[in-house]
Amino acid sequence: MLLIPYEQLSTDTLESLIEAFVLREGTEYGEQDISLSDKVAQVKHQLQADQLVILYSELHESVDIITKQQWRQLVKQGEIENE
């Protein structure tokens, strides 16, 4: 798996990736509905704050967004190499 810095993605690619992630996650936000654009903005902010990372799996030819903690666990387990 490869760590992909979000800054290296074009704005359109990053937006599409985040939208796909948000729609796939189906996260519940409680009683209030949160718009897709707000959810995308929240994920983008978390990427910028270094709370989330983008991983590309060559094996599965897929991209995923995971927490920095999940990434550290994968590194610790030897599933991926540290940057």
- Residue 81: per-residue pLDDT: 65
Prediction pTM value: 0.80
pLDDT digits (tens, 9 = 90+) for 27-73: 555 566 788 889 899 999 999 999 999 999 888 898 999 999 998 88
- Name every residue whose Cβ is closer than 8 Å to that of residue 68 and which is 6 or more positions away in sequence: 50, 51, 52, 53
CA gap 36, 41 in Å, rounded: 9
- Residue 24: per-residue pLDDT: 84
- Token pair in block for residue 78: 């030897």
38: helix, coil or strand? helix
**Beta pairing class for 62-67 and 2-4:** unpaired
pLDDT digits (tens, 9 = 90+) for 34-45: 888 898 999 999
